[in-house]
Structure 1
């Protein structure tokens, strides 16, 4: 809009209708102040003259802002706190092979359902892909090859799986910690024997379930 039009005097025909004079006088200022008083919501801290003198006036309706509540999420224990509280340690009175046999039975049923029955006609490649992402807590695993000869032949029920180690309990009620790296493990389910390479299992169980595995060469043992 042209500035000259904004600053033009009010036409004589509208002077009597609007009740103002063509020149800025005290009467026009009084009309403007009265209009703003009626049109603006006044608050105890609102100084009308100061507001008109120092900043622009917005006549649009605005909703009061809601106060944001500080929602703090509950923080879990870090690794140092878990070790201090011995969260992952199995108490000596619980280190008995027979206590974990029900867990093994549940795991067998879980694997059979996961692999669609494990029938003689099942595709071994499909079964292997299923096992790569399966949870092995409760499985009976045997170390068949390892760069450390003392681990070979160790058999037990897997009670805890970490990123780099398997923790198993043997029939002699002893806890054994077997590193995954440079070891090959055998698992038997309903006559189907599967070998898993520990190097490919160096992930937490929760991470392995969502990981995409690539076909790579086997380790030299």
Structure 2
């Protein structure tokens, strides 16, 4: 017996009273189906049972319980601003620390750093290649000499670079004096194991972190 014949089969007489069906007619069967569904399906105020039966499918809605949002601390740790740093004198080198010999180890470290950066310095090394590396390198520890400047008093000043700011170099001389040299309108010579390279201060009027990501032309000019 196939599925369709099984569905259309008549209900035995012995089950008519049990199921509450007095006749096998189509109308009685429909009444039984509706009564059975009424007892089986919970009544809701939103949907009418007859309208539900006319559809092939019923979409049941489900909403997830909302989780309580935890308040996150949106405040981020803020560093000191420029005014606060100046007030605390963070960048000031104490007089007792302004000694040339204290920065000699820094100079040796910088020399090795530049040699590694330039893949070794040789007499055959290209000056343009070395200058390009110096433009993006960190110069703290380098020995700088002012060879040209609009201010004649700066010319000939030599020392180890101990601090670099956006517009000035601070160097400590062999006489244990801290000199502040403006970058603009000055030309500096950098000496590394006998290899001397000249750099224009105007090209360095940036912070070291900003300069490392900038593209430079090898040749530069300066108005003196």
- Calculate the TM-score normalised by the size of structure 2: 0.74
Classify 1:217/1:115 alpha carbon distance in 2 versus 1 (closer, same or farther; 3 Å): closer
Partner of 1:18: 37
Q: CA deviation at 1:90?
A: 0.5
Give the whole-Å Cα distance in 2 for the aligned partners of 1:144 and 1:12: 110
Partner of 1:196: 199
Q: CA deviation at 1:137?
A: 0.5
Give the whole-Å Cα distance in 1 for the aligned partners of 2:35 and 2:151: 107
Classify 1:164/1:193 alpha carbon distance in 2 versus 1 (closer, same or farther; 3 Å): same
Q: CA deviation at 1:66?
A: 3.6
Which of these two proteins has the greater Rg computed from alpha carbons?
2
Partner of 1:159: 162
Partner of 1:86: 89
Give the whole-Å Cα distance in 1 for the aligned partners of 2:218 and 2:141: 27
Counterpart mapping for 1:90-101 below 5 A: 90-101=93-104
Give the whole-Å Cα distance in 2 for the aligned partners of 1:168 and 1:154: 9
Give the whole-Å Cα distance in 2 for the aligned partners of 1:158 and 1:176: 10
User: Which 4+ stretches in 1 moved above 2 angstroms?
Assistant: 11-15, 57-63, 214-217
Partner of 1:128: 131
Q: Are 1:32 and 2:79 an aligned pair? A: no
Structure 2: runs of 5+ lacking an equivalent: 1-29, 48-59
Give the whole-Å Cα distance in 1 for the aligned partners of 2:114 and 2:179: 24
Counterpart mapping for 1:182-221 below 5 A: 182-214=185-217, 217-221=220-224
SS at match of 1:211: coil
Partner of 2:122: 119
Aligned residues: 182
Q: CA deviation at 1:217?
A: 4.3
Structure 1: runs of 5+ lacking an equivalent: 1-10, 21-27, 36-56
Give the whole-Å Cα distance in 2 for the aligned partners of 1:14 and 1:165: 94
SS at match of 1:145: strand
Q: CA deviation at 1:110?
A: 0.7
Give the whole-Å Cα distance in 2 for the aligned partners of 1:58 and 1:83: 63
- Calculate the TM-score normalised by the size of structure 1: 0.75
Q: Render the CA deviation track for 1:23-58: whole Å, top value 9, x for unaligned.
A: xxxxx9x8216x9xxxxxxxxxxxxxxxxxxxxx96
Q: CA deviation at 1:206?
A: 1.2
Contact 2:190–2:198, Cα closer than 8 Å, also in 1: yes
Superposition CA RMSD, Å: 2.4
